[in-house]
Structure 1
Amino acid sequence: MGIVRRQGLRNTIISYFGLGLGFVNTTFLLPRFLEPGQLGLTQVLVSIATIYAQLSAFGFASAGIRFFPYFRDAERRHHGFLPLLLGVPLLGFGLMTALFFLGKPLLLSLYTEQAAIAAYYPWIAVLALFTLLYSLQDAYLKGLYHTAFSSFLQEVLLRVLIAGVALLFGMGYLTFPQFVLAYLGVNSGLTLLLAAYLAYIGELHLRPTRAVLRVRPVRELLSFGAFALLSNISGTVITTIDALMLGSKESLAAAGIYAIASNISIALVIPSRALNKIAFPLLADYWKDQDLPRMADFYRRTTRLLTVLGCWLALGIGLNLDFIYHLIHRPAYAAGTVAVLLLLAGRLFDSITGLNGLIVVTSPRYRYDLIFNASLALATVGLNLLLIPRFGLTGAALAALLALASINLARTWFVWHSYQMHPFTWRIAGVLLAAAVAGTAAWLVPFVHSYLVSMLLRSAVLTGLYGGLLLTFGLVPEAQPWLRKLRGR
């Protein structure tokens, strides 16, 4: 667990520093300088490029993490694994690029504001290529247990660069078309930095070898990749379809307002995202060694940690939404308030059910994850089609909540039914009860003539009471040695 603690701690520090930068971008810069329609356009372009890259990858990012333990051999340059990891997806990218440009009229017909998207259509392909290469290199680094640098690029540097581009636009140095191209450019540039890092640590082995074909049959990797593709694309649909469908069914402005609501609620994803970077290859090793008892213990402890952090973050954000939207000086964005609350509920449920998805996708029965994700993706699209025309932004957020709750219930049951593992103990219930008590107390704090003062008072009551209950009743065993040391002093 030593490497898990070190990498997990680094990822957590980087992720939360990046969260602070993301909050600044979300609440001070992008909404201040961009109209909702302008922000919505950038979100739609990025969402299309993300799906484009996922289809091109053919699931090889997940396959790389799943099978890398069999190839790992530093002295033999991992048997030429990296060229194989990159080669098949690049062939897929060539095919997808042909389809992307042939299907341009059909894709543009889905949007009433066609001219805005058409102006940047070729650049979507460029962004998709760099997104593809980044995801493959990131998967390779996960297998090597080098995850901190990629976290730094994605969580910190990207947001610093976006902030810089937004400032240049706000100060009049960039026109909006130049801002969009710069925005896409900084997203793409991270890929080159990640390649430079691989070269720096001596792991950029690009020479193909025949030895890679003898370690594991390529057909096995392709088979896993096909299932992972459908699983991953389902997950991508779940996370991007709301912005795409709001842009299509409502307007680009609605997509921009929803993007801000989603960014506000994204804090709940940070702990699990930091943990997943190291948990994925670790779980693959547990399955390889058939060490189910250690996996079950890891499942329980990480779920408790995610629940503790998730409850605190969800309550802290939900109770102070008036303060957050007050910082955004464009009243139009406050239309996403209810959407934020629904998204917080969905992401909190995801935290409470733990690493069920990673356990399924790294297990011998990984094919069942495809059934869950494909069904969920279809349900997500159906729910958005049903709810967006009726409720707009709120409908998209409600669809996301129902989708997250459904897939986590299904996966948690499957892990328990198949492997007799579940993450729940009496401490989970205790944490939820402590959160309810502390949240109610903070909610009862009245508004005190200032958004800032009210936020500070509510946050102090929430944190003090919640932390006190957790420590008093031993709901976080990992904190007890620290508490005893503090009492001794």
Structure 2
Amino acid sequence: MSKIARQSIQTTVFSYIGVLLGYLNVLWLYPYALNATELGTFRTIQDLGLLFVPFAQLGVGHGITRFFPKLERHQSAFLTYSLGFSLLGFTMVALAFFGLKEQIVDLFASNSPEVIDFLGIVLLVTLFALLSSVLDAYGRSYLKVAIPTFFREVFLRLLTSVLIGAYLLGWIDFDRVMQGLVAVYGLALFGVLFYLVWLGKIQLDFNWKNFPPGFRSSFVRFSLITFLATAASTLIMKIDSIMVSSMVSLEANAIYSIAFYMALVVELPRRAISQVSMPVIADHFSKNEIPAINALYRQISNRQLYICMLLFALIWCNIDSIYHFVPNREIYQAGKWVVFYIALGKIFDVAFSVNSEILVFSNYYRFNLVLTIAMSILIIGVNYWLIPIFGIEGAAIGSAAVMLAFNLIKYSYLKAKLQLDPFSRETLKILLVGVPTFLVMFVDGDRLDPMLMIASRTIMIMGIFLGTSRLLGVGKEEWKWIRSKLKKSGP
């Protein structure tokens, strides 16, 4: 875990800096500078662009991670081959986009016609995000995760802040804001590219004939099989926002997006650990080290669940006070229960640990493909059923329910096929530590200043969490690990 720990702590630091910037953007700057319709348009175009990325990537990201350990040389040729393959995928996505443009326009014409004026921006966002994702996967194979995370989580949000700030100051109009979104993703791509060039990891090499026998065909076959699973996973994450815009309104999507972002902080430890664990899992599978995979599987589950339960309690128990600082909160506070249901779905996900990553790099990756496609179809159907009944809360409930079902099936399959299990008595202890902290939300603090309310409830939550942890003997390894890695990452 040494390489994982070192990179994950740096990645987590950048991720949380990104979260801080994201909170300032989403909870204050966006609703202050943009009206609800403009904010809904901004997020819908962004989500559409990112939704197309895995379809264009054709599974190249996972393919790089799986096949990189098999190469002793010719890594630069492998990168150019991967980039060429993904650009072929982008070309197909672009042709499909233009071919189906009339249907896409019809999707938004009734409830969100403002989106139609900016559909041309979508493909450019897709292209730059696509190239960034391929470079991220390449850097991840060298266990170089932290700096690409900086450009993705911090730099991108900082540039977006500048863009929206320029609109707030009256320097540009909203049309220029949407066009500037392309420049933001382009500059983030250039940053990752410059970093990898500086490390000496990128050279132009189009000599693709020197790969080991059968390497290219195996890489393409694996990538094409896994790309549908990756695309379906992204569809599961992004479809809510797009369906809320098309079925309700852009204002509803603005409310949903702010609530979704509040809940997203719960899963940040998983996102950081998952990125650096993937090449390690791939390496263990290449050596058939199943017990090592199970140990990693369980350790990550316990570590993530312990930290994420605390984050969930801190957010939910302070939710009303957090909304107090959102401009026009009388509009956006309607998403309060969206925060709860999305965060609950994230807790399901972190508890079941890196089951998706294990499936992708095992011999059972085809099952992950079938399951993910089935789940993406299910969530669309659930949203069509629940959104007309419960509005934006229906989309959140559907996401949490599908996330639980998704993970239960993957858990059962891995246990049956590989005898892998992330759960133990430690899992139950962690739940017994985390659940009582939610009682703090019933403490009456309506008369207090919102900032004082957040401070007092946070102190109470931390007291209950740490006290119960000590009583049940939980969290010693987690806190020891956090302290040691913070010390290592210091000057």
- Matches of residues 235-384 of structure 1 in structure 2 within 5 Å? 235-330=233-328, 331-384=330-383
Contact 2:81 2:208 in 1 (8 A): no
SS of equivalent residue, structure 1 residue 13:
helix
**Distance in 2 between residues matched to 1:320 and 1:217, nearest whole Å:** 53
After superposition, the C-alpha distances for 1:141-191 in whole angstroms (9 at most, x for unaligned) are: 111110011111111111111111122111211211111222332123211
- Matches of residues 172-183 of structure 1 in structure 2 within 5 Å? 172-183=170-181
Structure 1 pair 483/175, CA: closer, same or farther in 2 (3 Å)?
Answer: closer
**Distance in 1 between residues matched to 2:106 and 2:157, nearest whole Å:** 32
Match of 2:443 in 1: 444
- Matches of residues 19-98 of structure 1 in structure 2 within 5 Å? 19-71=19-71, 73=72, 76-78=73-75, 80-98=77-95
- What TM-score does the superposition give when structure 1 sets the normalisation length? 0.95
Deviation at 1:384, TM superposition (A): 0.5
- Greater shift in the superposed pair: 369-378 or 156-165: 156-165
Contact 1:79 1:211 in 2 (8 A): no
Match of 1:2 in 2: 2
- Runs (5+) with no aligned partner, structure 1: none
**Distance in 2 between residues matched to 1:484 and 1:338, nearest whole Å:** 34
- What TM-score does the superposition give when structure 2 sets the normalisation length? 0.94
Instruction: Give yes or no for the alignment of 1:143 onto 2:141.
Output: yes
Q: How many residues align?
A: 482
- The aligned amino acid for 1:69 is P
Contact 1:53 1:129 in 2 (8 A): yes
Contact 2:125 2:181 in 1 (8 A): no
CA RMSD of aligned residues (A): 1.9
- Greater shift in the superposed pair: 442-451 or 57-66: 442-451
**Distance in 2 between residues matched to 1:482 and 1:51, nearest whole Å:** 36
After superposition, the C-alpha distances for 1:105-140 in whole angstroms (9 at most, x for unaligned) are: 111011125652232222211111111101111111
- Greater shift in the superposed pair: 387-396 or 163-172: 163-172
Contact 2:317 2:440 in 1 (8 A): no
**Distance in 1 between residues matched to 2:210 and 2:219, nearest whole Å:** 11
After superposition, the C-alpha distances for 1:298-334 in whole angstroms (9 at most, x for unaligned) are: 1111111111111111111111111111101212111
SS of equivalent residue, structure 1 residue 328:
coil
SS of equivalent residue, structure 2 residue 79:
helix
- Greater shift in the superposed pair: 78-87 or 367-376: 78-87
Identity of aligned residues (%): 26
**Distance in 2 between residues matched to 1:25 and 1:481, nearest whole Å:** 33
Contact 2:226 2:369 in 1 (8 A): yes
Deviation at 1:464, TM superposition (A): 1.6
SS of equivalent residue, structure 1 residue 214:
coil
Match of 1:210 in 2: 208
Match for residue 200 of structure 1 among 198, 201, 204 = 198
**Distance in 1 between residues matched to 2:481 and 2:395, nearest whole Å:** 43
- Greater shift in the superposed pair: 210-219 or 132-141: 210-219
SS of equivalent residue, structure 1 residue 340:
helix
Instruction: Give yes or no for the alignment of 1:109 onto 2:113.
Output: no
- Runs (5+) with no aligned partner, structure 2: 485-491
- Greater shift in the superposed pair: 374-383 or 476-485: 476-485
- Greater shift in the superposed pair: 96-105 or 307-316: 96-105
Deviation at 1:212, TM superposition (A): 4.5
Contact 1:62 1:228 in 2 (8 A): yes
